[in-house]
Amino acid sequence: MNVLRQRSDMPFLAVALLWTCVATGCSQNPYLAGGGTSVWQPPPSTTAVNGIQAQVAELNRRVQLLDDNNRQLTTQLAQSEQQSQVYRDELNLVRKQLSDTTQQYESARIAAHDAQTQARSFRASAQMRGGATIRANTNLNQMAGRLNLGGLKVEQDGEVLRVVLPSDQLFAQGTGQLQPSAGAILDPTAAQLRSVFPRQRIGIEGYTDNAPMYGGAAGSAHQLTSAQTGAVLDWLTRRSGMPEQQLFTVAQGSNNPRQDNTTPAGRAANRRIELVIYPESF
């Protein structure tokens, strides 16, 4: 009888055990993980983990190497830029020294030329006093009456005659380049000088105003008037056929103004070329 009762209770116990497992979520199935919702996977092997760690370590090593190289290149670039700046500063210094030397040379050349001209004038004065190869001053005045220079001004200045040529009619203002129209003044003037004063020494003196020099080839008033007198000398000898030994040049710059430089008319009058005829013959 008891055996029969036990057998009849077994289905009830089985159902109760199943209900308890469902209610508590228990599962001892080794092929299920996460509450029986996914397939169970075996844990990775130690060899695979070690391989991944080795790859990560190699990548880290390469990244560190790249960082080191980048820092070295940055340092080298900064050093190269500093060295380049040093070279640029040295080049600018050499350029400035060269410019200063050029200006000093030009000033010395102009001073030497002026000294040479003054020496010639002193020799001419000495010869005039001694009476050697000199025509009397009164003879110059008589000869000057034979000049036919149109509207050009001819002045007696002590022992010499001065023929005044306005620079604005010869040159573009501020340059030593003769204008095409300059020949209309220089050619007939040269013809008259060759005819009336074939043996007299003639100085070509250049003057300008005191306006500041901006840009252009001339850096000073003396350089400008030196270029202008040189251009007139070249014209008179090469084109007009006057003897080179008869002529010489003097660059006066802004010295000896004829009129006040505070007015446009005065400055224009001060920009001039003067052909100075000496009693001395050659």
152-202 residue pLDDT tens: 999 988 889 999 999 999 998 889 999 999 999 999 999 999 999 999 999
Confidence (pTM): 0.53
CB atoms within 10 A of CB 280: 23
Classify residue 15 as exposed, middle or buried by CB count within 10 Å of its CB (0-12, 13-18, 19+).
exposed
Q: Return the pLDDT at 131.
A: 43
Which has more confidence, 280 or 144?
A: 280
Overall fold of domain 140-281: 60s Ribosomal Protein L30; Chain: A; (3.30.1330)
Give residue 17's pLDDT: 53
Residue among 151, 153, 172, 170 nearest 162 (CA): 153
73-87 tens-digit pLDDT: 999 998 988 888 999
118: confidence class by pLDDT, cuts 50, 70, 90: low
Give the pLDDT band (50/70/90) at residue 54: confident
Lowest mean pLDDT: which of 52-56, 142-146, 203-207, 245-249? 142-146
Q: Residue 267 and residue 264: Cα distance in Å, rounded?
A: 5
Bigger pLDDT: 108 vs 68: 68
| 35-43: average pLDDT | 56
What element of type H or E holds 60? Answer: helix 46-130
Q: Is the pLDDT of residue 209 over 80?
A: yes
